[in-house]
Structure 1
Amino acid sequence: MELKRVVVTGLGTLNPIGNNINEYWNNLEQGVSGAEMITSFDTAKFKTKFACQVKNFDALQHFDRKELRKYDLYCQYAMVSAHEAFLDSGLDLEKIDHDAAGVIWASGIGGIQTFMEEMRGYFAGDGTPRFSPFFIPKMIADIASGHISIRYGFRGPNYSTVSACASSTHALIDALNLIRLGQATIMLTGGSEASVNEAGMGGFNAMQAISTNNDEYKTASRPFDVTRDGFVMGEGAGALILEEYEHAKARGAKIYAELAGGGMTADAHHFTAPHPEGLGAKNVMINTLKNANLKLEDVDYINVHGTATPLGDIAEIKAITSVFGEHAYKLSVSSTKSMTGHLLGATGAIEAIAAIFAINKGIVPPTINHANPDPEIDPKVDLTLNKAKKREVNVALSNTFGFGGHNSSVVFKKFSE
């Protein structure tokens, strides 16, 4: 069967360097760091005392107090970014087929704040189980998808994808395929995460996965730098409206880009460490371009997973040079996690938006905080260090890899009739 074309018609975000799309895109171009010292809880006994947090977010500007009782913070972020994307798309709820509109929303962890608060209350008590009736529905990772569909009356496909840091890219791919196959016309998709709390920071500290560079917290997220010591925790959300092209055309929608394809693989190697030669990463990039019917030399920009972990950065660049050969030295690469930190299950969504930014603005966002080259990383690869770069971007690839060996990538291309 002939697959339908899928385009992006709406964008929304709430993340450490932007509370909306315009603010996010401006700060991507300017190379702004979202890192700050944590003030939401006492970090005195924690190894890491900083993170990339959402700033100046007042939930009461978006929800009333009664409504807020139902939403964990990760769900609040989801609802706010989804609404921006919906408004941005210009969709008219009175004119769409609600049975052909769906939601796939991702979170790697879900309502960890709610779980922690409920357990804290239980253990502080006398052992009597006094839990909120909202405890379970606030905590589960699929509830944001449900709440979004309820808000807009979208009765089509509705579920959540969970694959650690690859989660929201998997959500994008599933949404893409549903529209391609004619099972939906409109999909609101993306991901959210809110894990900057005692449980999140303590757990990743125990794994030695996050940076402990408290003295230089503003520049601690430093992908590809030889002094990198782990990722910086981030939080927030990203949302995209995907739409079947003919439907978007018929209503005169603005189109940001075409989502041309996606790929999914597994490392089948280790539950947290990447394959040392980037085997899964190689395969997922190859599969993504094949799925999109694109050639290696078509790619202009790769928004890499680039978390600033000692092993991960090396493996990903090895994978790129292996897959692209000489073309690896002609394309641009950058890690926007140097600015936003790592949003875990939401990272694929906000980085897809960064890839779309590169296509729309003709600007490759930078990898900031880089001062000391790593001799194990090929110096001929253009890592777009410290400053944004102007170049025409017709095709942009976005990579995301998650604990468990999950790999997912999507590729966007400049829209043309």
Structure 2
Amino acid sequence: MDKRKALGIAMSLMLSAGVVAGCGGGAKETGAGADKKPAGGSGDTIKIGENLELSGGVASYGQSLSEGLELALEEINKEGVNGKKFEVVKVDNKSDPAEATAGALKLISQNKVVTLVGAATSTSTLSQVQIAEKNKIPLITPTGTNPDITSKAGKVNDFVFRTCFIDPFQGTVAANFASKELKSKNAAIFTETSSDYSKGLAKAFEESYTKNGGKVAAKEAYVKGDTDFRATLTRIKAANPDFVFLPGYYEEVGLIVKQAREIGLNVPFMGGDGWDSPKLIEIAGAKALNNTYITNHYSVEDKDPKVQKFVSAFKAKYKDKAPDGFAALGYDTGYLLADAIKRAGDVDPVKIKEALASTKDLELVSGKITIDAQHNPIKSAAILEYKDGKQTFKMKVNP
């Protein structure tokens, strides 16, 4: 554990005990409402804290989420919610769990937000869970898929929710696709050692894949920040797999796929939503990504009118930029929160939490969702295939 992380945890425990009056933290704060105001904002505003990865290793995720959330809140604020409009305080957690901890402390103790949104990754979300629980402030992660975020060892975290599906579902969908659609019998699994997301997906994939009758030919791991994977990929190739499951984030994934193709490892690769970034194509190259697949939350090719309305609005706001899955989930998180506050009839965090927990059949861009007893949405997943540098819709899988 590095010193910054230790400091963040210590600060969290101090705030939980009620002895911290305010924390500066190391996270960078931007956006309107950075000054101190009464809890929840002024009389006509609803103040929420955005704690996302706006810089650092997975900045692409945080930036997409922020853009999607901003678009949603702009639309919602045209009419408002119960006579109020959203005001957002942004914190850049720099893709660092310790910074996410500091950011959550600052947003709650100094900015007096009524809800936290973020982080993009599971590890940086997990670093905020205790803070949200102790301070009774709802925390919604748009894309943190690790099951422990909302429920661990049978205990539900009362104030923590998510807009995305969870790793066991995503891993099972990938395993079934590999077994039944690609007819894989002999897979390799390549994970990142420090990522809760990567390890959770790998575990779910292996359990379902072997249950389907498949065998795991090789299991290898890499360290975040590695750039040369050729030796490990050579070992994987020697095991003669017919499929490689690679649950990781786009920075390493792009290099791994590129180098795999360079050594002649041309079998199908598949990962989760962590691949979903325009940067992936820049890193790996369009040709190398042929014959690769991901599980994701939606597809821009979905003909559903709600999806196409969102895609058009996003492109209009962001200079014809196509929204990825992170942008869609940022957008959906805005509408999930607005729906809960409208039904709560108040900006009291406890009432917002209760309304979030009772969400049922809410129509969003990524599908109709109902929040289950573990505070996870019951929703479908999409499988996408990369063809010549573009994501193409393959199929939708219902829960």
Q: TM-score range by the shorter chain?
A: under 0.3
TM normalised by structure 2 equals 0.28
Relative contact order, CA 8 A, sep 6+: which one is greater? 1
